Amino acid sequence: MRTNIKDLENKVDEEVQISGWVNVRRDHGKLIFIDLRDASGLVQMVVLPNHKEAHEVADMVRSEWVLEVKGKINKRPDNMVKEGDLNGSVEIEVLDIKVLNEAKTPSFDILTDGKEIGEENRLKYRYLDLRRPRLTNNIKIRGKIVKFIRDELEKLDFTEIETPILSKSSQEGARDFVVPSRVDNGKFYALPQAPQQYKQLLMMAGFEKYFQVAKCFRDEDTRSDRQPEFTQIDLEMSFVKQEEIMVLNEKLLIDLVEKYFPEKTIQEKPFPVISYKEAMEKYGTDRPDLRKDKEDHNLLAFCWVVDFPFFEKVSDSDNPQAQGEWTFTHNPFSAPQDDWMDSLMDKKDIENIIATQYDVALNGFEIGGGSIRNYKSERLKKVLEIIGYSEEQIEKDFGYFLEAMDHGTPPHGGIAWGLDRLVTILLNESSIREVISFAKTGEGRDLMMDSPSEIKKEQLKELGINISEKGK
């Protein structure tokens, strides 16, 4: 029966069986020391010459070989105890070693933090890179953060609901990734940029409180802190005001930091609330870095930015899907503030309409954003008309959604956190790729699996697709 390495200190004088990877091997002549690790921890083993067969095997093993070991747990001499280290007070006297698998010499050192190694090489051999302690810790902490959020939201009667990945192409601010249909040649699914419409449909269905750890997909231009796929903590609530959503999320963020990052200090609680106008005039950005000491990596300066303009001129926008004179600044599903509802419905004073949009920023990065939604179909229609949709386009692209709104939709609103970015900041990492298990490059390439890649001609034929040179 295998014992996890983390449990060895409670088994002094017992014989155990453990399995794992060779972390380090040190040959001292008659004595061979091997540090063996599994997912739970690390232990030092010593192979004595009187255990002849085990000594012969230990003589040939190398780093990253996978072993099964039987041995006796002994206390270390007092002068060899490593206080504070897992298994610092014990070592294993090896009685038998079985090689489960040999390993090639790793392409790089996995015992360092990896920052001295070229990122492309690390991504190509990501399965090795993830063995380094820094990356292992990052992925484990990320998992704990997700579990914490799940547990806290479930306490508040939120229901976790998965929404579809194969969806319909829609206007949400970036290019869609599309998936051709084999059954309906010439037609395509789209991967969701966010679960925006689905979560609103869930409010229409009466769930009232929804959340999801959601995969999102956006075909965006290359940026160092972007991935074509990323993860949101996505939630939506019915019968709420903007302030209620902000209070709930603020508490969740504070509780998260205090539980898992006690070494960090939140600069100001409650979080300061700044208007978009003030943020732009005072800081030149809508995601200001309010830290009083920007050299202090353990200082967290959260803030809310509110009162965003609903629309902007297409010429001032980076929305590749914009098609009229105006486009939205965040998404078309937001509601205007009450004082601006008449302007929306009359399609006047468009440049001054203020949305019920709120973003949360941390140390100069936007980590989340949301809004109160338009919950009446005629209001959403006006937004779509302002951004250049014809009546025919509205019906084709959003007819089902508008139909659903006319079947008793409650007032509702929500928010989405960028999980990758939040975890990156909390772990003092420089890139979201350091907290994503199998990350892609800034250009969206998977160097390990060599994707995107060509597919067989037979597959293309089944899909009714011919490939031509770009632009022709």
C-alpha 344/C-alpha 168 separation (Å) is 27
Question: What's the chain's Rg over C-alpha atoms?
Answer: 28
C-alpha 472/C-alpha 468 separation (Å) is 7
**Kind of pairing, strands 90-101 and 41-47?**
parallel
Regions of the chain where pLDDT drops below 50:
none
Break the chain into its structural domains and give their ranges.
Answer: 5-101, 129-443
What is the model's pLDDT at position 315? 76
What is the model's pLDDT at position 240? 98
**Kind of pairing, strands 412-418 and 229-238?**
antiparallel
What is the model's pLDDT at position 223? 72
Class of domain 5-101: mainly beta
DSSP for 432-469, written as a single string: GGGSSTT---TTS-BTTTTBS----HHHHHHHT-----
C-alpha 348/C-alpha 331 separation (Å) is 19
What is the model's pLDDT at position 327? 92
303 strand-pairing partners: 361
DSSP for 237-285, written as a single string: EES--HHHHHHHHHHHHHHHHHHH-TT-EESSSSPPEEEHHHHHHHHSS
Coil vs helix vs strand at 68:
strand
Same fold for the domain at 5-101 and the one at 129-443?
A: no
pTM of the predicted model, to two decimals?
0.93
Nearest to 327 by CA among 383, 272, 405, 371: 383
C-alpha 389/C-alpha 400 separation (Å) is 16
What is the model's pLDDT at position 365? 96
Q: CATH topology for 129-443?
A: BirA Bifunctional Protein; domain 2 (3.30.930)
